[in-house]
C-alpha cells in the first residue's frame, strides 16, 4: 500500500482524554494517537471486547488497572518508549501527574469502535466509562452489573462496525 497516514484532529472521548484514530486495518487492529493533558486523570473504564497496548511516546503516565483475576488495583508507571497491555475486561485509568502533555500511541485489537451521531451523541463506544472511584468499585466488589444496566453486546458491536465501515 503506497500511502502515508496522517492523524486527523483529536477529539475528546467520554473518559476525558483526547484521541485521534490514525489507521484502521480491517478487523485486525487500529492505531490511534492519544493526548493525556497535564494533571489529567481519566475516568475509570474498561473495554469488554478489545485489548489495548498503550505506548508512551513522550511524557509520563501512571496506569491504574484491575483485571478479572486481580484482587485489587495496581499501578504501572510508564515513561517515554514504554508500554503496557490492557486485556479485555480490565478496569483501567490513565493519570498524567506531570506538567507536560503525555503523548501516547494506542494499538487496539480488534479495532476500537467509537461511533457518534452528527450532533456528537455517542451511538456506540467500546469503552464502558464509569463515574465511580476505585473505592466505590471495591465496595461493590467490582461487580460491573451493579453499575451498568446495559453492557454493550457483541451484536451491537457488530452493527456499529458495519455502520462505521460504510463511513470510513
DSSP H/E element including 136: helix 134-139
State residue 27's pLDDT score.
85
State residue 132's pLDDT score.
96
pLDDT tens-digit profile, the chain (168 residues): 788 888 889 999 999 999 999 888 888 999 999 999 999 999 999 999 999 999 999 999 999 999 999 999 999 999 999 999 999 999 999 999 999 999 999 999 999 999 989 998 889 999 999 999 999 999 999 998 888 888 889 999 999 999 988 876
Q: What is the domain partition of the chain in residue ranges?
A: 11-149
Instruction: Return the SS3 of 167.
Output: helix
CB within 8 A of 87, min separation 6: which ones?
51, 67
d(CA 105, CA 20): 10
Q: CATH classification of 11-149 is 2.40.50.140, yes or no?
A: no
State residue 168's pLDDT score.
63
Amino acid at each position: 500500500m503506497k500511502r502515508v497516514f496522517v492523524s486527523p484532529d483529536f477529539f475528546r472521548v467520554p473518559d476525558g482524554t483526547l484521541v485521534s484514530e490514525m489507521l484502521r486495518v480491517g478487523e485486525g487492529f487500529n492505531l490511534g494517537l492519544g493526548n493525556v493533558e497535564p494533571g489529567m486523570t481519566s475516568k475509570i473504564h474498561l473495554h469488554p471486547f478489545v485489548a489495548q497496548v498503550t505506548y508512551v511516546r513522550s511524557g509520563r503516565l501512571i496506569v491504574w488497572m484491575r483485571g478479572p483475576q486481580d484482587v485489587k488495583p495496581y499501578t504501572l508507571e510508564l515513561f517515554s518508549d514504554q508500554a503496557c497491555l490492557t486485556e479485555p475486561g480490565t478496569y483501567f485509568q490513565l493519570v498524567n501527574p506531570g506538567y507536560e502533555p503525555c503523548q501516547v500511541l494506542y494499538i487496539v485489537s480488534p479495532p476500537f469502535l467509537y461511533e457518534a451521531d452528527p450532533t456528537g451523541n455517542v451511538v456506540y463506544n467500546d469503552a464502558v466509562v464509569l463515574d465511580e472511584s476505585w473505592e466505590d468499585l471495591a465496595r461493590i466488589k467490582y461487580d460491573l452489573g451493579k453499575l451498568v444496566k446495559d453492557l454493550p453486546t457483541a451484536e451491537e458491536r457488530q452493527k456499529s462496525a458495519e455502520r462505521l465501515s460504510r463511513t470510513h
